[in-house]
Amino acid sequence: MTNHNTIKVAVAGPRGKMGREALTMIATTDQLQCVATIDRKNEGKLIKELEGLSDLDAPIYTDVDQCFSEQDVDVLVDFTHPDVGKYHMEKALSYGVRPVIGTSGFSEEDVQHLRTMAEDKGVGAIIAPNFSIGAVLLMKFSQMAARHFPDVEIIELHHDQKRDAPSGTAIKTGEMILQTRENKSQGHSEEKELIKGARGAEYNGFRIHSVRLPGLIAHQEVLFGGEGELLTLRHDSMNRESFMQGVRMAVNTVMDLKTLVYGLENVLE
């Protein structure tokens, strides 16, 4: 990873929980400078004028075109929603700004379309369903284990305000498991759910379960069953600060890319 001079960052979704953490991380990282934020409201105000946010002089824009036209931005960090994130990403690439997107919910078609855009522009981009280094390692370990334990179930647990289920991390883990797992349909051939959904979501022969409760942040268990043994892999994020090491790494790494990378595991050394 190259050491760059000051990287100028714009943050989309600054009032969200992850956006707030990103602002704090940028403010406390010498190499990074927040030059603007993109928000649905508060046009023309400064970040430091909003209660509870960082003491930054960066202006707030509601118009993404105006932001990229008026500010010299190297990297866009986006923690919004899939539709908004996709729109922001297309805009960023068209201006030669490198997007780092922490939003799950992109389809394979979306990713391919955005990758083509990035390569046409020769600009790097990263979409990461999870910025936690530990969660990314869990995915990699699960992929290793699935080669030897094809019987697997995923249980992901998140706070009750999360909108999508299963989580992007669980789906990504499932995708990675499929790359090494032999094709098989698990469970009894005549299995019957007495209550619909009791066995979770069916995904290529195995199940993914989603738990939503207050008090949780982001957690995932991957259970592998074998003859007379059970292998359990688990990761817990206790706070959103835990994601910032991955965000910082992605902002640095995206400066050296000329394509779109989907998943932090692909840039983790």
Active site residues: 158, 162
CA distance 124 to 261: 8
**In this structure, are residues 118 and 152 in contact, taking their beta carbons and an 8 Å threshold?**
no
Structure tokens, 237: 């994020």
Q: Which of 221, 238, 239 is nearest to 230 (CA)?
A: 221
Give the C-alpha separation, 209 to 51, whole Å: 37
Q: Using CA atoms, how far apart are residues 173 and 229, in angstroms rounded to an integer?
A: 21
Q: Which of 178, 160, 168, 165 is nearest to 243 (CA)?
A: 168
Tokens of 51: 């209660």
Determine contact, residues 128/263, Cβ cutoff 8 Å. Answer: yes
Tokens of 43: 């046009």
> For residue 133, how many C-alpha atoms fall within 13 Å in the half-sphere facing its CB?
11
Greatest Cα-to-Cα distance within the chain, rounded to the nearest angstrom: 63
Contact present, 126 and 250 (Cβ < 8 Å): yes
Neighbours of 174 (CB within 10 A): 23
DSSP class of 7? E
CA distance 255 to 249: 10
